[in-house]
Amino acid sequence: MTRREVAKLIDNTLLKPTATRAEVVRFCEQSLECHFAAVCVFPFWVPLAAEILGESDVKICAPIGFPFGMNATAIKVMEARNVISQGAREIDVVINLGALRSGEESAALRDLEEVVRAVKLSGVTENGDEPITKAILETCYLTDDEKRLACQLAVKAGVGFVKTSTGFGPAGATVDDVRLLRRLVGKEVGVKAAGGIRNWEQAQALINAGATRLGTSCGIQILEQVPGRDPEGL
């Protein structure tokens, strides 16, 4: 893979609560130079990211219901509508883990469905493009049966991706989990691996396992480790 191809698999992420405005500006500028798939920033910084990235090929992603997923559905919906209106084109929403693990499937499904619906209705552009919702499963807390159920609910809700982790749990993405999620959601839904991805060796293993997007705060370092150089000099 070329560096440009790898860059388009990466959501370059800055979810450090102490990050300053100057740090967010530099982060967005560097992400633009690298042509990442997206930048992932807290909702507060979405308007700033939109000023910098404009109509570029780098999308803005914002996490909602983050990092525990236990906000009321109405709050998640409000968060989603807000960030979409400010320029976000991708939403990473944490599923209701408590409902899922309690066997309350209908509640967990309704939570996701309402967010997906709000995102689609809030962000359809003139050319018909819809923003993407990614469901964060936080796989480190789930059994394989619970992962299977979470994927079923996510697909039924109409998400664009399932995502392994927030990066704030006790463990992040693993090759085994990515392989399992890929098998469960099939080819039509993306798999985003996130949490603890710090180098090209890890990234490549996760891509080979079926990840179609990587969430990492080490995007630039990973690109620097990809062998070879693209004609554009990336």
pLDDT digits (tens, 9 = 90+) for 41-89: 999 999 999 999 999 999 999 999 999 999 999 999 999 999 999 999 9
pLDDT tier at 129, thresholds 50, 70, 90: confident
pLDDT value at position 231?
46
User: Which ranges of 56-140 does DSSP label H, i.e. alpha helix?
Assistant: 73-85, 97-101, 105-123
pLDDT value at position 232?
55
Which residues does residue 59 pair with via DSSP β-bridges, in sequence order? 38
Residue type, 62: A
Stated as kind and residue range, the H or E segment containing 62 is: strand 59-64
Q: What does pLDDT average to over the chain?
A: 95
Q: Which residues of 72-89 are buried (b: 16+ CB within 10 A; e: fewer)?
A: ebeebbebbbebbebbbb
Annotated active-site positions, please? 92, 163, 192
pTM to 2 decimals?
0.95
Domain boundaries, the chain: 3-225
Q: Which residues make Cβ contacts (< 8 Å) with residue 126, sequence separation at least 6?
A: none
pLDDT value at position 122?
83
Average pLDDT over residues 183-206: 97
Q: Does domain 3-225 have CATH number 3.20.20.70?
A: yes
